[in-house]
C-alpha cells in the first residue's frame, strides 16, 4: 500500500491519507477484508502524529469504506462497490448544494453556473 504525504501541498495531512486510501479502495487495489496497518504503525511509517492518522481512519470509517474492530484493527469494509458509490454520490450532492447556495448569494444564474462548471471541468481535464 503506497501512501505519499506532501508537507508542502497545503492540504491537511489527514485529508491526504483519506484521499489516497479511498482511491486505493475504490480502484479495487484493496479488496474487502484487507487489513490496514494499525493507526500507530501507519503513523510511524509516515512519521506523522498518531492523532492525525486516527482522524483519517475515522473519516474513512464514516464514509463506510473501512471498519474498525476494537482489539483487531481496521479492515476494508465488505460493502459492495454500489454502496460505496452511492455514499460518495451523496457526499457529492451535498457539496453541490453548497455550491448552489453560494452561487445564489453571488447572484449567479443557473446558466452562468453550468457555464462555469463546464469551463473548470475542461480546464481540469487538460
Partner 1 sequence: MSDCIRLEHVHKSYGTFALQDISLGIKEGYITGLIGPNGAGKTTLIQMIMGMVRPDRGDVQLFGGQNKEQVPAVKERIGYVSDENIYYEQLTVKQMKKVIAPFYSRWNEDTYVKYQELFRLSPGKKIRDLSKGMKIKFSLAIALSHSADLLIMDEPTSGLDPVFRRELLDLLTEHIQDEKKSILFSTHNTTDLDRIADYIVFVNDGRIVFDEMKEALAEKYLLVKGGKELLDRDTRRLFLGIRESAHGFEGLMGNRAEGERYFKDTAICETPTLEEIMYFSVKGSELRV
Shortest reach from residue 49's CB to partner 1, in Å: 5
Q: Could you say whether residue 8 binds partner 1 (CB under 8 A)?
A: no
Q: Could you say whether residue 22 binds partner 1 (CB under 8 A)?
A: no
Q: Could you say whether residue 57 binds partner 1 (CB under 8 A)?
A: no
Parallel, antiparallel, or unpaired: how do β-strands 73-76 and 66-69 relate? antiparallel
Q: Which three cell numbers stand for residue 125?
A: 481535464
> To 5 degrees, how large is the angle CA 92–CA 7–CA 2?
70
Q: Which lies closer to partner 1 via its Cβ, residue 18 or residue 79? A: 18
For partner 1, the binding residue among 55, 60, 67, 76 (CB under 8 A) is 55
Q: Could you say whether residue 41 binds partner 1 (CB under 8 A)?
A: yes
**Interaction site with partner 1 (CB under 8 A):** 7, 10, 12, 14, 40-41, 43-44, 47-52, 55
Amino acid at each position: 500500500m503506497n501512501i505519499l504525504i506532501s508537507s508542502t501541498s497545503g492540504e491537511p495531512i489527514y485529508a491526504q491519507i483519506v484521499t489516497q486510501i479511498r482511491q486505493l479502495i475504490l480502484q479495487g487495489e484493496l479488496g474487502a477484508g484487507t487489513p490496514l496497518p494499525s493507526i500507530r504503525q501507519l503513523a510511524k511509517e509516515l512519521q506523522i502524529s498518531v492523532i492525525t492518522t486516527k482522524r483519517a481512519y475515522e473519516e474513512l470509517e464514516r464514509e463506510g469504506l473501512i471498519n474498525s474492530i476494537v482489539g483487531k484493527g481496521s479492515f476494508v469494509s465488505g460493502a459492495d462497490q454500489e454502496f460505496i458509490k452511492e455514499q460518495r454520490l451523496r457526499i457529492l450532492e451535498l457539496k453541490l448544494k453548497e455550491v448552489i447556495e453560494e452561487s445564489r448569494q453571488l447572484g449567479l444564474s443557473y446558466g452562468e453556473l453550468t457555464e462555469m462548471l463546464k469551463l473548470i471541468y475542461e480546464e481540469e481535464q487538460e
